Structure 1
């Protein structure tokens, strides 16, 4: 699929897709007969995972390291697992912080409603 189609399906911009390719987050994308990028379904699956990592706050540098390890094959599975487990703990911690923040907001809203 073209870069525009991949952008639409992934929710990322064409600029972001080119950037991800340039910094090594995605493998060099195949080209069609005219030399245009030709994204595969497998590319979209990887982009979806990268989007989840980014949305949950993983730094780009860590994402690049993870992508590098992926290209290293099954011998890097242990290190990848460790990275994901550490990231999961950071996400859980952030969720707990957000839950506390939400309680504070709810309390403030309830205070305003009681006065209005």
Structure 2
């Protein structure tokens, strides 16, 4: 194979399956078309790997495929639509920030419960935690 990376190498470097890589290509989620060798094998570039890694972060943060596709389309169009790209990314940034706030609230509840259990375990009073959930909730709320 000439210069470039095989689909297997890209799968290994990104953690995506070969099937997922083909899906990303089919769905138009890559900024540049994937080059093909004369025998039809895909040949990826380092830029493709970087782009895929960014898409993985977008997906991991909850960005819908349609939004990634829209962002990709904007990038493909070239300069002149930076305001649209910025608006799209800011909107997702707001979404992620909201998710982080909600997760921090969840973490606060879990941390509170861990503290209660740890205090009972340390004091040797863990057996009193085996009460009905409604009774436990009432006693912990006070």
TM over 0.5: yes
With normalisation by structure 2, the TM-score equals 0.79
Q: Stretches of 4+ moved more than 3 A in 1?
A: none
The 10-residue stretch of structure 1 (35-44 or 21-30) with the greater mean CA deviation from structure 2 = 21-30
Q: For residue 21 of structure 1, what is the aligned residue in structure 2?
A: 25
Using the TM superposition, give the Cα deviation of residue 60 of structure 1 relative to its aligned residue in structure 2, in angstroms: 0.8
Q: Which one has more relative contact order, counting CA pairs under 8 Å at least 6 apart?
A: 1
Q: Secondary structure at the match of 2:35?
A: coil
Tell me, in whole angstroms, the C-alpha distance in 1 between the residues paired with 2:23 and 2:109. Answer: 39
Note the aligned Cα RMSD (angstroms).
Answer: 0.9
Unaligned runs of 5+ in 1: none
Using the TM superposition, give the Cα deviation of residue 38 of structure 1 relative to its aligned residue in structure 2, in angstroms: 0.3
Q: For residue 6 of structure 2, what is the aligned residue in structure 1?
A: 2
Q: For residue 16 of structure 2, what is the aligned residue in structure 1?
A: 12
With normalisation by structure 1, the TM-score equals 0.95
Aligned residues: 116
Using the TM superposition, give the Cα deviation of residue 75 of structure 1 relative to its aligned residue in structure 2, in angstroms: 1.6
Tell me, in whole angstroms, the C-alpha distance in 1 between the residues paired with 2:66 and 2:86. Answer: 17
Q: For residue 93 of structure 1, what is the aligned residue in structure 2?
A: 98
Q: For residue 106 of structure 1, what is the aligned residue in structure 2?
A: 111
